Structure 1
Amino acid sequence: MLFPSRDAHSSTRGLKVFVAVICLAIVGLEGWRDWTERQQEFARIESEMQNLARSLAQHAEDTFDLADAILVDIVDRLERQGAEANSMIGMQEFFSERIQTLQALKALTVYGANGFVLGSSLPGHKRVNVTNTVFFQHHAASPARKWFFGPLIRDPLGGDWILTMSRRLNKPDGTFSGVVQVSIPPRYFGNFFGRMDLGSQGAIVMFGTTDGKILSRYPYFEKAIGIETETSEWLTGSPSGSRFYVSPIDRVPRLAGYQRNHVYPVVVLSAVSQQEALRNWTLELQLRLLGVAVLIGIICLLGWRLARELSRREQVEAELAILAATDGLTGLANRRTFDSRLEIEWLRAARDGIPLSLLLIDVDQFKAYNDLYGHQQGDACLRKVTAVIAGGVTRPGDFVARYGGEEIVVLLPDTNEDDAIRVAEKIRAGVEALALHHEANAPTYTLTISIGSVTQRPATDRSLAGPAGLIDMADKALYQAKQSGRNRVSVAKAA
């Protein structure tokens, strides 16, 4: 015996899925927003670093322009009055005055054609010779009068790292007579870069574009000066831009902007620590994530509570539906459920052209049984009988219901007359085998049942016959069984 099934948890599952989708949508939208804001923050920081690098590159250019202006002035003076030893004595004080007021410049030195010092803003270095330096060899070999920006070298007058700018000195006949050179200490740029607020892990670096060496840096590390780094993009790519990199000096990940100078062979890079740059964004992200977590928690809590209440309600409704379709005494389907099932099976049998059988069962002398043994004993007897009847049908499509009072009906879809009779006899014999004493049921004095059986092939034309006709024929067969002595199966013949 089967009742129409209903998934009491479908709505609950749907609600849980809906809550999960809402939570995932919130997480997805928040993740997309956070990622977008992160990219925007990167773009803002990189733009700021590019602007700063552009300003610092301009400052470096101004410093080199100042050094070259001094070189032009000194070359002009010396070429007019001569660079002999006697004339250089009066220039010594002039050199010192020109350099002492300029923090960007360390020394101004004039070298003769033999490479020895003729005069300098730093006295006491007459025995120094620079014939092996790049700047001296360049001017000695080239007649060009343009300034020369030399590579980073150790100062011949002191041993510290310096940047050099120099110009060639010529004799009146145009032959080489020496070099005028200005020394620029890398620490000057490091100190100037230190005025910029880039956080505790920020860095500003100036590279030479000819060899990629670090010319100056903030924070200033003496050991970092002169180190060659992987700066191919900054040296040969776009003259300005931004990128992420890990510093080879302190291994700090940074966001950097760079600017390559269009006049002098230097590139300036300004960078901030990625962690510090994203600190505010990270803090806001943590606060938003906390808020989203609380919101999702509330939604999940309310959703799960609602789902639980909905589950309880569906369970109650399912139980009520079962009660509405079930006979309370026997646990079988009730009359209303049977009428609905009979209509369905009738239409199916008519559509498929298959037989439909029905057994109408009545407990013999049941009113007398109640009068003799009481209604409680009668109810117990009826439950035992229905248990035997329900056990007598084994196919999934078979259906047992309480038709009314002590009458039980069995619906057997796709069952011919002979098979229906066998089922009926099995049920009758099973009840008789209970051997329940029934004083009023002579001659056996044992509880028995009578069964009316009918089998038809329903027609689609309801004017010929219908489900009600099937029940009527079964009822007549049952009456015949009663009249023939009870405890038997009577078969109705189709008209």
Structure 2
Amino acid sequence: MVEVLAGAAIMNRFAPALARLTGSVAPAVRLARRRPVFLGLLLSASVLVVMVAALLDARRDAWARASDASANLARALERDLSSEVRSIDLALQAVADTMAYADGERISPEFRRLLIMQQVGATRYLDAVLLLDDDGEVAFDSRQDAPAIPADLTDRDYFAAHRDRADLGLFVSKPFRSRRAGGQWTIGFSRRLSRPDGSFAGIVLGVIRLTRLQATFEDMQLGPRGSMTLLRDDGLVLARTPFDERNLGRDLSHAPAFRRAQQAGVQQFVAISIVDGVERFYTQRHFEGVPLFINVALAVHDVYSAWRRKAAVIGGVTLLLVGAMAVLLIRLHRELGRRQVLEQAARSSETAFRLLTENSGDGVCRLDAGGRRLYTSPASEAIFGRPAEELVGRHLLDDVSPEDVSVVRDAIARLREGETTTRIEYRIVLPDLEQVWVETSLRAILNPVTGRAEGIIAVKRDVTERKALEGRLAALARTDGLTGLSNRRAFDEALALEWSRARRESTPVSLLLLDVDRFKLFNDTYGHPAGDACLRAVAGAVAAAVHRPADLVARYGGEEIVVLLPNTSAAGAEMLAEQVRAAVEAVGLKHTANLPLGVVTVSVGAATALPAADPDLFAEALVAAADAALYSAKHSGRNRVAVAASVPPPAALPPVPAEEEVRLAAVAAYEGPWFAGRGKEELDRVTRLAAALLGTPIAAISLVGEDWQEFVSRVGLEQAGTPKDISFCGHLVASDEEILVVPNAALDPRFSANPLVASTPGIRFYAGAPLVCPLTGQRLGSLCIIDQVPRPALNPSQRALLADLAALAVDALAHRRAPIAALV
């Protein structure tokens, strides 16, 4: 009792000092707890400021996006419509040229209709072409259903404009209701027709229905109050969306928007529409070379409508989040002390780390900075096939496959040099020597003082099944689904690789290209399922005949199979080609249409190249040579092997025509000094018509002599002629084809090695009709059209048109024929 009283006395003595100490510490603790609250409030205010700034920036972005979208739409529409108007103008000019050529009834009415219908079909909006004489009467209407009743059109602005001015060029009319098309709203494009003395002979008129143009406008998404208007330079409205018939032909030259549009350099502006009073953002574009312009107008209200909805949502959500943050800050203030203690305990406790790792399906290891394991989780045992205790102390590289050691070593080095995380995939070797793939995420444990890595956390998982699946998918991507052979993509990659290796090591590379004989007849006879089975059988026979691991058998396309033979001589390639051919024949698959054997056979083309011998030689030349050899094998009787003599193959020479001396004598009648300048204008007109009507950049009229082909008229060509032995026209002259069409010369064995094809830019498309001498019946040359890109083959109508134009060229050449006395 005495001791208790003594202790109480001591406490009473120090009580004032303890109270002062407690009073001085408590405010510091309260300040430490309030500081996060103040910071939180400051953060909330900052969030609000950032939110307002972001919304204002989004408002500016909405206007910028609308400006860009409007500019892009106006540019696209201007280019499309400007191109279409130029196409209409070109069509009208072509019709005018045709009418000038038709003067004197040199062209029949039927052929004239064909030429004009070609022009109508070449444009997207053009509805019809009419010819009006100088009295305003309709002399021709391309519409089949046009009424036959006469119609006086002298009151139309498109007629009066050309009647009063000879230099007007293309004229765009105001919208009008057509008297010959059921009162439909129509816009006219017209050009003047003149007589040889320059007097007014009428007009050629192209009309488009306004509904077509209106449909294009209405497809554009301009918002609920947007508009789009097509105007003449004088402010006359030609078309507008939203559509209102009262606005067609309306004069807007006094409108503020039109005056702004006419100011130099102004393409975008804001103005109030005089039509409906809506404030809009206008983007206007003037048509190139045509007195038209278009404006795209977005309502200012529509531009910001999406932004207003977004601002309302974002602002409301942000205010709710800031309010929730304030509530959480108050709760944080109450719990801060306890949470700080708990967090410090968690950081200093190894128990939490072990709890996480021991309940994870991934293997977790802790390593020192050198890569030696300090701890491994139980899940690591299933990955490494070793007890966790045995793994502790082993270096990370001890279990890595030798092929992947550099991958792991480099990852550890990167962590030492400053990287904090990295992810790698590599193989590990199990105790039974089996290898499995693992994916490992490595994270550096940094020293808080030095900032250097003092340890590594490695998280591993077994990805062997995923890697196997990726390998199977990669194999499927390189395999033909029907035959099981490698596909075209795998062949192209292998050819490029082997070509580079052969050039590097100065070794030959060979190629076999084989094609199933008369495969189309097989499909027609037995059906396509049997055809697929036939291809699988042929593929199996070819693959069985090729034994070297480096050789590649692939499906090249259709019924063609290719065999790539690295480091193989020409003799070896020919021997293997014969073995492949015999192996397919030995299958004995019935093919009654493949006479005389009655079984499935193949034709094989073989080619060998030495890439190191010619730095300019490319792998495509080897394929072309094999393809030319295959072509030779098929045309020599099939079921045989043909070997290319060279790579690339030589250009095929034109065959010598029958009765060549007679033909050359007929050509000589059109050559010589006596015809200089005679009929040239008519020939040039036919050549221009051929290029325009058949849509090619190049057209020519040729005379094929003994050694030289002369272009007596040409469009789009600089050279006056070519040697006969490389001319396409030489092939046509020596054949009996009515029309020679080569859709892609690079893929045609007759022309693939032709210098005119191999040059840059080379010929790809050719179509020609022969010029037949009316006196001797001999082929003098051709009227041909040419393009430098592949094109589809001509349809029957185009073939007939080319033949008719060739007949016109022969008629024009009659003016160049020498008198009989000149040839004696």
- Name the larger-Rg structure: 1
TM-score, normalised relative to structure 2: 0.31
TM-score, normalised relative to structure 1: 0.49
